Amino acid sequence: MILVSGATGNIGRPLVAELAAKGVKVRALTRTPETARFPEGVEACDSAKPDFDGVTALVLNISGGSVALLEAARTAEVRRVVTVSALVVAEEQNPEEGSNAAIHRELEAAVEAAVPEWTHLRPGAFAANSLRWTPQLQAGDVVRGPYAQARTSPIHEADIAAVALRALLGDELLGQAPTLTGPQGLSFAEQVEIIGSVVGRPLRYEEISPEMAAQAMVAHGVPREQADSLLSYFADSIGKPVPITGEVERILGRPPRTYAEWVADNADAFRR
């Protein structure tokens, strides 16, 4: 039995579907087990009361309850954990306390101490981060945000799920921490242009100050330290090559999906 945390999220949902399609027993953690919809045969489990009976592997997303969930897994003698971490862990060797890199590395270290078998997936920017623009795009054709020329290599979450599947069902990724990226480095302005091209809208990105962006993130529940760390990361990316690894292709035997493919898969979110 594999227990998947964040089972209704951008990575969890395609991963649960792939596991179920292969006939693997899956228990999906969700805050709404009564209403969550999963493929036939998947057990929905209340994330407030995780059931580890028969569980041999756990997919662990960082969250407010990730430490407690890991401790429960250790107590239940779960053998394998696949951690959804972050690329910044590989990029920042001596991260500041409270930064995204430090928080994710602390979770990785806790996993390594808790179970004998582990794999840390270190994806870069999720393509789904673009969904934060949908409220603005429902109101008009302009996205307002910080650092128009900040660059990332957005990865399709289904590719992360496909790598997680390999880490769960095989042994070739044990003890590894692959850094996962999409195939292209794209600025925020370029991402908005691609969205417009795919859905047929004249979209553009309008830059606002970092302070305005930080205040908006804090208003949505992001701790100020994490907001500042993320904005600093964006600022540092301007005018520099973004990390693009070949790990997705190495592991899956095919190129990663492009950002345009992700937009096409989620086009309804960007139409008015």
Q: Do 101 and 92 form a contact (C-beta atoms < 8 A)? A: yes
Convert the pLDDT of each residue in 77-123 to its tens digit. Answer: 999 999 999 998 888 777 777 677 788 899 999 999 999 999 999 99
Work out the pLDDT band at 64, boundaries 50, 70, 90: low
- Cβ count within 10 A of residue 218: 14
List Cβ neighbours of 255 (8 Å cut-off, separation of 6 or more).
Answer: 183, 248, 249
Rounded to whole angstroms, how far apart are CA atoms 74 and 77?
Answer: 5
Convert the pLDDT of each residue in 256-265 to its tens digit. Answer: 999 999 999 9
32 in any annotated domain = no
Convert the pLDDT of each residue in 226-258 to its tens digit. Answer: 899 889 989 999 998 998 999 999 999 999 999
For residue 95, the 8-state DSSP code is: P
The two tokens of residue 222 are: 């992001």
The two tokens of residue 44 are: 């929905």
List Cβ neighbours of 252 (8 Å cut-off, separation of 6 or more).
Answer: 159, 162, 163, 166
Nearest to 148 by CA among 209, 201, 198, 229: 209
**For range 11-28, the mean pLDDT:** 96
Q: Structural domain tally of the chain? A: 1
Convert the pLDDT of each residue in 190-218 to its tens digit. Answer: 999 999 999 999 999 999 999 999 999 99
122 in any annotated domain = yes
40 in any annotated domain = no
Q: Do 2 and 27 form a contact (C-beta atoms < 8 A)? A: yes
Convert the pLDDT of each residue in 172-187 to its tens digit. Answer: 999 999 999 999 999 9
Full residue range of the structural domain in which residue 191 is found: 79-270
Convert the pLDDT of each residue in 142-174 to its tens digit. Answer: 999 999 999 999 999 999 999 999 999 999 999
Confidence (pTM): 0.92
Residue 102: the pLDDT is 83
47 in any annotated domain = no
234 in any annotated domain = yes
31 in any annotated domain = no
Sign of the alpha-carbon torsion through 78, 158, 233, 211: negative
Residue 199: the pLDDT is 96
Which CATH number belongs to the domain containing residue 182 in this structure?
A: 3.40.50.720
